[in-house]
Amino acid sequence: MTPGSLDNSSSMSSTFLLSGVPGLEHMHIWISIPLCFMYLISILGNVTILFIIKTEPSLHEPMYLFLSMLALTDLGLSLCTLPTVLSIFWVGARDISHDACFAQLFFIHCLSFLESSVLLSMAFDRFVAICRPLHYASILTNTVIGRIGLASLGRSVTLIFPLPFMLKRFSYCGSLVLSHSYCLHQEVMKLACADIKANSIYGMFVIVSTVGVDSLLILLSYALILRTVLSIASRAERVKALNTCVSHICAVLLFYTPMIGLSVIHRFGKKAPHLVQVVMGFVYLLVPPVMNPIVYSVKTKQIRDRVTRALCY
């Protein structure tokens, strides 16, 4: 077969090739053990959080309703990548059809930006609780919380919905090998045999209008919270007020740090080692769903007590 025919057959392929850990293919079965452990912790941890909040009437408050949204989003993110990651590391099945890839990246990006919205909503909850405590119950009613959740979901779906169709119109050529064990828009579009300027601009617009806006509003919320806390005369009350924000601050750092790092690597780190991209990819999608239930279980007394009671019986 000639090189030309190889290129042609590659461009006509209806599948992409996902990647495991480059250079360590012979150790994939061993690498799968910590990955499976992390997926197990993520799924069990977030299901436990959801179960506790649902079954404990005292936790049917705004803060915990937002936490249940976060747990549901993290659970969805874990389940989105689980099939392709385990198929690569267990049986070496790297092929994924274009339609399956586009569907996967839709859910990954949609849930990622939904998580950003939920973290913003949780920052608003902390702002109202600390800066407007007397109006907390009247501002954050169940109806308002439901509308916030629907608005967050609607924004994510509306912004991400065009991406699969923008990618589907392309033909793809070259090696068709993706850097991760799952599909991302910024990676798939680079394999297109066409001008991807529109996709690149729209992708940047989506990031700025979601993660960019949300992170700035979260910073603003904490600036106002800090101003209010510093005006409290009692040192003990100041510490108590700030302590209610620790779990949320940890969740924000766990989410935004790897997301920004991965985006920078994809857009500007072309010379970065492939292994760095792979590791950052796993950190981005696995660490927040694994760590959020642990952080909230450790730092939130009501959830910690309920988990302790469940483990003791």
pLDDT, one tens digit per residue, over 31-74 is 899 999 999 999 999 999 999 999 888 888 999 999 999 999 99
Averaged pLDDT for residues 222-245: 87
pLDDT at residue 7, as a whole number:
43
Helix (H, G, I), strand (E, B) or coil at 270: coil
C-alpha closest to that of 17 among 144, 140, 179 = 179
Q: Kindly indicate the confidence band of residue 280, based on its pLDDT and cuts at 50, 70 and 90.
A: confident
Sign of the Cα torsion 260, 77, 291, 279 reads negative
pLDDT at residue 270, as a whole number:
64
Beta strands in 56-167, from DSSP E residues, in sequence order: 95-97
- Give percent above pLDDT 90 in the chain: 58
> Going by C-beta distance under 8 Å and a sequence separation of 6 or more, which residues neighbour residue 160?
106, 109, 110, 113, 206
Q: Kindly indicate the confidence band of residue 233, based on its pLDDT and cuts at 50, 70 and 90.
A: confident
pLDDT higher than threshold 90 for residue 158? yes
Alpha-carbon distance 33 to 204, whole Å?
35
- Give percent above pLDDT 70 in the chain: 93
pLDDT higher than threshold 60 for residue 1? no
Alpha-carbon distance 294 to 53, whole Å?
15
Contact 270/19 with Cβ under 8 angstroms?
A: no
> Going by C-beta distance under 8 Å and a sequence separation of 6 or more, which residues neighbour residue 207?
263
Q: Kindly indicate the confidence band of residue 273, based on its pLDDT and cuts at 50, 70 and 90.
A: confident
Contact 39/78 with Cβ under 8 angstroms?
A: yes
Mean confidence (pLDDT) of the chain: 88
Contact 130/263 with Cβ under 8 angstroms?
A: no
Contact 189/206 with Cβ under 8 angstroms?
A: no
pLDDT at residue 243, as a whole number:
86
pLDDT single digits (tens) 2-30: 444 434 444 456 889 998 888 888 888 99
pLDDT single digits (tens) 284-303: 889 999 999 999 888 887 88
pTM value?
0.90
> Within 132-180, where are the H helices?
136-139, 142-160, 162-168
Averaged pLDDT for residues 164-171: 91
Averaged pLDDT for residues 264-280: 74
Count of CA atoms in the C-beta half-sphere (13 A) of 295: 22
C-alpha closest to that of 7 among 174, 171, 172 = 174
pLDDT higher than threshold 80 for residue 106? yes
pLDDT at residue 291, as a whole number:
93
Helix (H, G, I), strand (E, B) or coil at 102: helix
pLDDT at residue 139, as a whole number:
93
C-alpha closest to that of 87 among 175, 26, 27, 28 = 28
